Amino acid sequence: ETGVTQTPRHLVMGMTNKKSLKCEQHLGHNAMYWYKQSAKKPLELMFVYNFKEQTENNSVPSRFSPECPNSSHLFLHLHTLQPEDSALYLCASSQGEAGGITGELFFGEGSRLTVL
Amino acid sequence: AQKVTQAQTEISVVEKEDVTLDCVYETRDTTYYLFWYKQPPSGELVFLIRRNSFDEQNEISGRYSWNFQKSTSSFNFTITASQVVDSAVYFCALSENWNSGNTPLVFGKGTRLSVIA
């Protein structure tokens, strides 16, 4: 069982659809993150949750709505997305806040989102 | 503000060649951390190394080595005797250390390395 699991791995949705991405970590970490990876762009930090509390929202449009019900689960709710939102969405976790003691982030394999 | 620049977008080498991936960073803090991550085709980023700003000693781990130069704000990564399995996208990242803790990692755009057999 991998440390950070993301589902679904691939998602195709229309601009009027509502869908959710799920992330689960089995590492006992306290912090979880959503990153967006677009072609030819740096990894963009979207949201940070520390002990279930959102500590960072990096000016993300409201059509992306995160939810962190507990330290092990993180969701990204999607609605009325645009084609330019097509990207690989990566979830990560760490022990402690914002990189924690070692600064090491553990990533999932990502959810590849295509918006038609 | 923090910034990480990886000027090399793509590099191709023949197997067994040495290759160096460049990373230049910007920060106003005196305490910060630098990282390298590897992203294989499967998608997940894999942690390779973390260095703090007070430790300029170069590090070697098997075929991997890192050269940290504060004078040039660079943290370059060298793979010796490259192998096909080294083919991946490599990301350099930076985290600053504030009183409240470390900032989330800021990543460079990545360098895609292709090792040809």
- Which pLDDT tens digit goes with each residue over B53-94? 988 888 888 999 999 999 999 999 999 999 999 999 999 999
Per-residue pLDDT averaged across A81-87, rounded? Answer: 94
Collapsing DSSP to helix, strand or coil, B85 comes out as: helix
Q: Cα angle vertex A111, ends A109, A112, to 5°?
A: 115
Tell me the residues of chain A between 5 and 44 that have a Cβ less than 8 Å away from chain B.
33, 40-43
pLDDT of A98 reads: 53
pLDDT of residue A103 exceeding 70, the answer is no
Collapsing DSSP to helix, strand or coil, A82 comes out as: coil
Instruction: Inform me whether the C-beta atom of residue B3 falls under 8 Å from chain A C-beta atoms.
Output: no
pLDDT of residue A99 exceeding 70, the answer is no
Per-residue pLDDT averaged across A49-69, rounded? Answer: 86
Residues A111/A7, Cβ–Cβ less than 8 Å: yes
Instruction: Inform me whether the C-beta atom of residue B104 falls under 8 Å from chain A C-beta atoms.
Output: yes
Which positions ≥6 away from A74 have C-beta within 8 Å? A22, A23, A24, A25, A32, A34, A49, A66, A67, A68, A91
pLDDT of residue B96 exceeding 70, the answer is yes
Residues B98, B84: Cα–Cα separation, whole Å: 40
Structure tokens at A31: 């912090």
Per-residue pLDDT averaged across B41-57, rounded? Answer: 88
Report how far apart, in Å, the C-alpha atoms of B1 and of each of B27, B96, B108 are.
6, 10, 14
Minimum-distance CB partner of A105 among B47, B109, B110: B47
pLDDT of B99 reads: 61
Instruction: Inform me whether the C-beta atom of residue B14 falls under 8 Å from chain A C-beta atoms.
Output: no
Per-residue pLDDT averaged across A28-57, rounded? Answer: 86
Contact criterion met (CB < 8 Å) for A107 and B91: no
A-B contacts at Cβ under 8 angstroms: 66
pLDDT above 90: percentage of residues in chain A: 64
Instruction: Inform me whether the C-beta atom of residue A1 falls under 8 Å from chain B C-beta atoms.
Output: no
CA distance A92 to chain B (A): 9
The tens digit of pLDDT for each residue in A64-79 reads 999 999 989 999 999 9
pLDDT of residue B101 exceeding 80, the answer is no
Residues A70, A25: Cα–Cα separation, whole Å: 11
pLDDT of B80 reads: 97
pLDDT of residue A97 exceeding 80, the answer is no
Residues B62, A66: Cα–Cα separation, whole Å: 40
CA-based nearest residue in chain A for residue B33: A103
The tens digit of pLDDT for each residue in A4-16 reads 999 999 999 988 8
pLDDT of B42 reads: 86
Per-residue pLDDT averaged across B9-27, rounded? Answer: 97
Structure tokens at A38: 């677009």
Residues A76, A79: Cα–Cα separation, whole Å: 10
